[in-house]
Amino acid sequence: MKVLVITYYWPPAGGSGVQRWLKFVKYLPEFGVTPVVFTVKDPEYAVCDESLKNEVADELEVLKGEIWEPNQLLAKLGGKSKKVSAGFLDAKPSLTNRIFRFIRANYFIPDSRKLWVKPSVRLLSDYLSDKKFDAIITTGPPHSVHLIGLALKKKFGLKWVADFRDPWTSIDYFHNLPLTRSSLKKHQELERQVLSTADEVIVVGGKMKEEFDPFNENVHVISNGYDTSNSEGNVALDHDFSLTYAGLMNDDRNPKALWRVLSRMAGANPELKSDLKIRIVGTCSSEVLKSIENNGLSDNLDYLGYQDHDQVARYQQSAQVLLLTVNEVPSAKGIVTGKIFEYMQARRPVLAIGPTDGDLADILEKTNSGVILDFDDEEGMENVIHGFYQQFRTRSLVVNSRNIEAFSRRNLTGELYEILKKNKDI
């Protein structure tokens, strides 16, 4: 079986967006599937991780298509030089940035990579015209990638699998976009068209499946996961009582109640104040840093910024407690950040802040990997942290997780293979 995987994120892209299909592509050959990857040439990624190139097999065929990205032009005109993830929308943008945000939201639908669609369809149409493939796979966001799949499905009639790592119109930052009514309607129409046309739709969680089920009877859940081959071996635990957060932390993920609780506990217990280390491995917003400072925790903060994937894994394994925060947004119940699965692999206790009746809560309960508390449950946070700290003091802070093997990348690729071979004579 041979499949064409169309993805915007590919090494040297860093961050969470690249991991899912980097791993699927890695393990598909074990199931008799030959993947070919189509991605962007000279992209403008928000973060890069050159180390991930080492995970791409030498024999893998990778096609690349030119792209022009308006994000960087708008950033320069708006006086910004940094590459910024879509999840980091300014809480208080200037007038100029509000204008550019409006342009981006209403003239680049579904997203700023829409200009990649037509040239990609032309290039891939020529490529596919004399080659045999069994399926096309698209993964988003950016959801412009699905429009490439939609066009190729109509032209060639190949089996099309649309993979949604995040939702479309219910993605966490969508409600912050300054969309006109007509733009919102266009998003919804494109989303329905993609969902209803794809032969198979894959999502990462049950809540997203419930959202998409009315549009397609073949919606499957394949979660994100962890890669057993990336284990760092024995890593010594931190001497400090470290609460380690790995990944992006924007304003919606800022656990304000947690900072208040830690401030009170540190103020009442000098030993905890001395032992506490809040380690953030990844990019976080200025609002998060301000919240930590305002709660008198600056001396306890170890803000490391973006690190390569291997280094992040080591920090996760050395943590006393792993901190995970869910975006406090309308779609919070359906958010399952991919980081939770790497946390499982680290086998350290997880303290999660988010909906106690969402997809993440289900995973934590099934695997016994940690505790989740609601956004404003300060009493619960204090009790859990007190318990963790007492175990830290007696060197008995461990986690007895179970059933995490189901989330290994190899096993998840087996689930993908079952979808790919549907209706195939294999």
Each residue of 152-198: pLDDT tens digit? 999 999 999 999 999 999 888 888 899 999 999 999 999 999 999 99
Residues 250 and 190 reside in one and the same domain: no
Residues 73 and 195 reside in one and the same domain: yes
Residues 213 and 242 reside in one and the same domain: no
Residues 318 and 377 reside in one and the same domain: yes
Alpha-carbon 11 to chain mean position: 15
Residues 221 and 192 reside in one and the same domain: yes
Whether 263 is in a domain gets the answer yes
Whether 182 is in a domain gets the answer yes
CATH number at residue 413: 3.40.50.2000
pTM of the predicted structure, to 2 decimals: 0.86
Structural element, H or E, at residue 5: strand 2-6
Residues 19 and 57 reside in one and the same domain: yes
What tokens does 43 get?
């992209």
Q: What pLDDT sits at residue 73? A: 62
pLDDT at 249 over 60: yes
Domain range spanning residue 122?
Answer: 2-225+408-420
* C-alpha–C-alpha distance, residues 39 and 115, integer Å: 14
Q: Provide the CB-side half-sphere exposure for 123 (13 A, CA).
A: 16
Whether 426 is in a domain gets the answer no
Residues 399 and 416 reside in one and the same domain: no
Residues 198 and 318 reside in one and the same domain: no
Q: What pLDDT sits at residue 62? A: 97
Mean pLDDT of 108-114: 93
Task: Of 59-73, 98-112, 126-140, give the range with the top mean pLDDT.
Answer: 126-140
What domain count does the chain have? Answer: 2
Residues 244 and 168 reside in one and the same domain: no
Residues 321 and 390 reside in one and the same domain: yes
Whether 425 is in a domain gets the answer no
